[in-house]
Amino acid sequence: MMKARNDAWRRWLFFALTLVSTLVGSALMFDILRSNDFTVLEATILLLFTVTFGWIVMAFWSAVFGFILQLLRLDPISLKRLSRQRNMTDAIDSRTALIMPVYNEDTRRIMAGFEATLRDLAAHHDLAPFDFYMLSDTQNVKLAAAELSAWHAMTERLGDLAQRAFYRRRHKNRERKTGNIKEFCERWGSQYDFMLVLDADSVLSADCILQLVRQMQAQPQAGLMQTVPIPVRQATFFGRFVQFASVLYSPMLATGQAFWQTDTANYWGHNAIIRVRAFMAHCGLPTLPGKAPLGGDILSHDFVEAAMLKRAGWDVYLLADIGGSYEEVPSNMLDYATRDRRWVQGNIQHLGLLFKRGWQAISRVHFAAGATAYIASLLWLLMLVFSTIDAVLRSVNSNQYFSHSYQLFPNWPVAKTEQMFVLIGVTAVLLLLPKVLSLLVTILYRRREFGGAIRLTISALIETTFAIIIAPIMMVFHAYFVLAVVLGLSVNWDSQSREGRLVPWREAFARTLLTSIAAGLWGWLTYSLAPVFFWWLTPILFGLVLAAPIVRYSSSLKLGLGLRRLGLLWVPSEVKLSRAKAEPDVLRRLQQLLDEVEEPALSLTVPAVPPNQFAPMPTQALQQARSTRRANGDG
């Protein structure tokens, strides 16, 4: 990868297209609404539509740019042929720490992922430049004991390789994950050039690790490089749906984002490599004024750390084409929504940082876009409710042609049916065309990795259909989470559930019954008073009324594995190519460890860690003084 030159034109082009497209859509909506008087209610609908439509447009143009670049096989940063970009074989003359912060996690899984990554790297490269740290914040006493025992059993299996692995547990998890990483940096960070941050469910291949280190060595101005984590090991229908969608669509969307973000990309908190001295010098996070949920510790710290690095003059890149970066996702809709609940609060916090002095313009876009990703659900829901009210009022008053006793000519209702169909069609294109483009470029270059063009196309149709069905359910979940934040209800940031499970009927109804009842009443009222509008609402009402069975059956392992046996929703890690093995080595090692390693005997001996070489990580101001100048990249 080479740094882009004169990249301002990309951002001007992207935001110009986004702005013009949003204005065109809003103008069309305004023309529809003003045809029969323009009320305060309709003005509110127009405002909500403009914000949500603009959000869709941003994603659309990112996808279009990603499609063009992938079609032409161009690197999104340098715009040079990809085949010339990723053949780096430079000697590694730097030191890198791979760190895995964990908190009350499944012990078997974190140890297996940690060991699989270490062994894969050892099989392909000398481990001398690398150290591995498991940084535990586990507070559950039983899990902490299990971690220690599993750690000792793992180091026995590793033999001499265990010399590069270290375990440290904090008894008090002050400042959560950010405090965990800060303590590592202050105690040992000065010994390393880079740190590669893993999540508890992360698995990285040796090739991915080596490419990241070599890219950082080749780019001395780079402070952070983020990969695109790809979900793996999913068995339920919902898990396989998310996994397939991520593998199919994320690379193209990330390529488009990298094109216009260039050296001001974002950080997603894991599966990324960071220059330690830059991070220590500029990413000490302060505490936000006020109480939770908007005050207190910064929860979505990664966005802020990326912005701080860029503010200090360091480059932040999104490397969309580096493979071998894996993660796991919640396997059912309820656990998936629970994870989103944490992200909602963390991202909405960023709105308070939006207008602080010193941020780069694109960093402000990251803050706003992260919050809008969830607030848009509440806006969509409000727009639908207000549109229903407007439709009902118009239907009830449709036969009142004379609104005043002294009126000479009647108010004939004007129906903008043609414009309505155009707007609905445009919105559908913006939502669905990126999926089609991603499918086309995948059929062209990677169809064998998904089992062939026919299986890939059928799988994409299944994914799209299910995405449309569950979209209203996720909209309601996210809208509720946003309201909870606004009302001051904070959320605990606990460990995530990632293992496949069939959601019990009791749990499914407990989380969705009120929504289904409200949707049923909504549909009955609309059908009774505005039957034409009711038919427009049916795609939304369908998913909401049937939310409980959708949650239940989409969590089915039987359905998920059944589709896998049919070759549907396949992803590259599952598909056998000619005589090659299906799984990447690191994933095969992970599964082997999960299958074969038995629960170890209890051992509470505290492992040794490297000697402290303390270096402070100063807390940074969120608002940069007007006289402060950006660093030149020397930390």
Look up residue 580 and give its two tokens: 């090659």
> Is 178 part of any domain?
yes
Q: Assess contact for 379 and 483: CB atoms under 8 A.
A: no
Residues of the chain with pLDDT > 70, as a percent, come to 90
Q: Assess contact for 586 and 207: CB atoms under 8 A.
A: no
pLDDT in tens, 469-496: 999 999 999 999 999 888 877 666 555 6
> Is 153 part of any domain?
yes
Position 579 pLDDT exceeds 90: no
Mean pLDDT of 524-539: 90
259 Cα distance to chain centroid: 18
In this prediction, residue 2 carries a pLDDT of 52
Could you tell me the residue range of the domain that residue 168 belongs to? 94-199
> Coil, strand, or helix at residue 199?
coil
> Is 162 part of any domain?
yes
Q: What are phi and psi of 390, to 5 degrees?
A: -65, -40
The domain that holds 128 is classified in CATH as: 3.90.550.10
> Is 150 part of any domain?
yes
369 Cα distance to chain centroid: 12
Is beta strand 96-102 parallel, antiparallel or unpaired with respect to 165-169? Answer: unpaired
Of 195, 201, 202, 184, nearest to 137 (Cα)?
184
Of 481, 475, 177, nearest to 300 (Cα)?
177
Across 222-231, 336-345, 576-585, least confident range: 576-585
Number of domains in the chain: 1
Distances in Å between the Cα of 592 and the Cα atoms of 20, 119, 279, 309 are 53, 12, 36, 39
231-250 burial: b if 16+ Cβ within 10 Å, else e: bbbbbbbbbbbbbbbbbbbb
pLDDT in tens, 184-242: 999 999 999 999 999 999 999 999 999 999 999 999 999 999 999 999 999 999 999 99
Position 79 pLDDT exceeds 80: yes
pLDDT in tens, 273-325: 999 999 999 999 998 888 877 788 888 899 999 999 999 999 999 999 899 99
Mean pLDDT of 392-399: 70
In this prediction, residue 33 carries a pLDDT of 79
Mean pLDDT of 326-338: 93
pTM of the model: 0.90
Across 174-188, 334-348, 454-468, least confident range: 334-348
In this prediction, residue 555 carries a pLDDT of 96
> Coil, strand, or helix at residue 129?
coil
> Is 206 part of any domain?
no
> Is 534 part of any domain?
no
> Is 115 part of any domain?
yes
> Is 443 part of any domain?
no
CA 501/CA 265 separation, integer angstroms: 35
Which has the higher per-residue pLDDT, 264 or 497? 264
Q: Assess contact for 617 and 274: CB atoms under 8 A.
A: no
